[in-house]
Amino acid sequence: MKLTRRGFGILAGGAVIAETLLGNWPMLAQPAAGEVADADKLSAMSLTEVSEMVHNKTITSTQLVKALLDRINVYNPKVNCYVTVMAKEALGQAAQLDAEQKANKFRGPLHGIPIALKDNIDTAGTRTTAASPMFKDRVPTEDADIVRRLKGAGAIILGKLNLHEFALGCTGDISYFGPTRNPWSLEYVTGGSSAGSGAAVSAALVYGALGTDTGGSIRCPSAWCGIVGLKPTVGLVSIRGIIPCTADLDHCGPMARTVEDVALMLGQMTGYDSLDIFSVQSTPEDYVKAMKQPVSSFRLGTPQSFYDHLDPEIDKAVKAALEVLTKLTAGVTSSAPLWDGSPGAGTGDADFYHHDLIEKYGLNYMPPTRARFEKLENPPPGTKVPTAADAARAHQKLMTTRRMIDSSFKDFDLVVVPTTRLLAPKINDSLAIEAKGGGFGGGAGGASGGKVYDWFAPGGGCMNTSPFDAYGVPAISLPCGFTESGMPIGLMIAGPHFTEGKVLALAYAYQQATQWHKKQPPLTAETVVPPIIESKSSPENK
């Protein structure tokens, strides 16, 4: 497919970003210098801290919303993490919740706390776009089940967050609304597909966010943006009302700045949804309490296949993290093989969903995504077209893997691995590769030879995370260090099905023993936004 100069301009975002910022929410008046400082200080607090302040009546929900809107006004044009800011709706919710606060009627720990949603999660009356031109004007009539639950728990929905188009990539730079930028350095990708969620939390533009994870889309941006993100057990959180990526592998989970924030959010997100065919019955759990359990008896595994071909700086940081964990627990073993049913992708969920969309709307995608579905709809000569039998076999392998994975956790309780094997690439390098149909291959932007959409490709940014979506087990990413250039590095902890409590406990113990989560991006109001530069290898320039 030929990517024209106009097409690349759309890919880069350009005028669409301005339309998004100016057209969907009322611009606030520029606050005075002292007010900015106050907003920055308040916005930088953890979700747990502001929850305590709301319950102690030392702050109101309206104050929290206004502080975040002030920061969004200054920093979203730099980071480009919000697609839609729901200022009017959020202030209306806040007023109601403030009245309840005054009357001592608290709905729960999220009462009055602003959170934001990845823009593939349906919100009634507010557009949900999946960051695609196909859905740029799509307005759902019903909230996703998880939105309904969170509103009921008192959370305020502040807005909808940018993502890799239709959640089909792990970089976060292919979006109708332009690439999301990493708050630690604006020339780098955030990771995807929950790009806006990672950036918004990292840049203190929201206290917590929801992401979705099919091959690593919560954990990869959490690692590269220096925050905490949890992919829960499959079916623990309803995915009804979320635009699917590959439904058999899709998960929804919390992203925030600390482990305790994630634990607090998760406790308000779980529950059986009889209308979600993937939802499972589970026993309610106090994850904040479970997070504080002792970890001295935990046996940790480090499956060696997840440590191959690490970037040297990631290798160094993870080894240092393992030294800390060895002292906190019963020890670490490298003899920790995990069940390998090799389910891969290809259950057919993504293909049939998009086939129906294409019949209705045509191939109205961003150029790299369009190339994928052009080949799907019109396979090149000699291409083996997957059959219904292939899809059935893939589904059977997936279900077998999920049945067998817990048996791997026999001589160890949890596994610890690097979240990613590679460092985040620069946006311009990543776009150049994706424009040529290549795959993401690491810090220098080198191609892996696979497609950027293929999480299972060797060298892909989500190579370490994707098996855990197939396993369907809980996995968390949290900061474990920084590169010499100041970019975050993530550590992943995972366990058997429904062991969120143990996973959170080990993550919390590590967080308490280190200081990585306290570092903040060097983003200021004066930070210059680097340009998106068209690749010299673009077909028009040859």
Its domain, for residue 134, covers: 14-379+388-516
Query: What is the DSSP code string of 177-225?
Result: T----BTTBTTB---SSSHHHHHHHHTTS-SEEEEEESSSTTHHHHHHH
The predicted pLDDT at position 4 comes to 36
18 domain-assigned: yes
Is 526 part of any domain? no
Q: What mean pLDDT do residues 344-365 have?
A: 80
Give the confidence band of 385 by pLDDT, cuts at 50, 70, 90. Answer: confident
Distance between CA atoms of residues 521 and 534, nearest Å: 27
Residue with tokens 């969120």: 500
pLDDT at 98 over 60: yes
pLDDT the model gives residue 249: 94
Return the structure tokens found at 257. 């700045």
Q: How far, in Å, CA of 503 to CA of 508, rounded?
A: 9
Q: Which tens digits make up the pLDDT trace of 202-235? A: 999 999 999 999 999 999 999 999 999 999 999 9
- Report pLDDT digits (tens) over 316-332: 999 999 999 999 999 99
408 occurs within a structural domain: yes
Does the residue 411 lie in any domain? yes
Determine contact, residues 328/296, Cβ cutoff 8 Å: yes
Considering the domain boundaries, does residue 521 fall inside one? no
pLDDT at 437: 64
Q: In this structure, what CATH number is given to the domain that contains residue 69?
A: 3.90.1300.10
DSSP label at residue 297: T
Q: What is the pLDDT of residues 18-31, one digit of tens each?
A: 333 433 433 333 44
Q: Which residue has the higher pLDDT, 119 or 371?
A: 119
- Evaluate if residue 17 carries a pLDDT over 80: no
Whole-structure pTM value: 0.90
Question: Which tops the pLDDT comparison, 378 or 475?
Answer: 475
CA–CA gap between residue 175 and residue 80 (Å, rounded): 11
What's the pLDDT tens digit per position in 167-214?
999 999 999 999 999 999 999 999 999 999 999 999 999 999 999 999
Element (H, E) at 159: strand 156-161
Catalytic residues, by residue number, are 118, 193, 217
Residue 208 and residue 256 in contact, taking contact as beta carbons nearer than 8 Å: yes
Which residues is 188 bridged to in the sheet? 426
| Residue pair 11/366 in contact by the 8 Å Cβ criterion | yes
Give the span between the Cα atoms of 54 and 362, in whole angstroms: 48
Q: What residues are paired with 160 via a beta bridge?
A: 84, 117
Inform me whether the pLDDT recorded for 116 exceeds 50.
yes
Q: Does the residue 3 lie in any domain?
A: no
Tally of domains in the chain: 1
5 lies in some domain: no
CA-to-CA distance for 158 and 25, rounded, in angstroms?
11
Question: Mean pLDDT, to the nearest integer, of 303-314?
Answer: 95
| Residues 480-535 pLDDT 10s | 999 999 999 999 999 999 999 999 999 999 999 999 999 999 999 999 999 988 55
Question: What percent of the chain lies above the pLDDT cut of 90?
Answer: 76
| Contact present, 177 and 13 (Cβ < 8 Å) | yes
DSSP 126: B
* Helix spans in 180-336 (H): 195-202, 219-225, 259-266, 287-291, 312-328
pLDDT score recorded for residue 372: 86
Tokens of 154: 């008192």
In a domain, 537, yes or no: no
> Which pLDDT score is estimated for 266?
98
In this predicted model, what pLDDT tens digit does every residue of 401-448 receive, in sequence order? 999 999 999 999 999 999 999 999 999 999 988 877 654 433 323 333
pLDDT of residue 388: 80
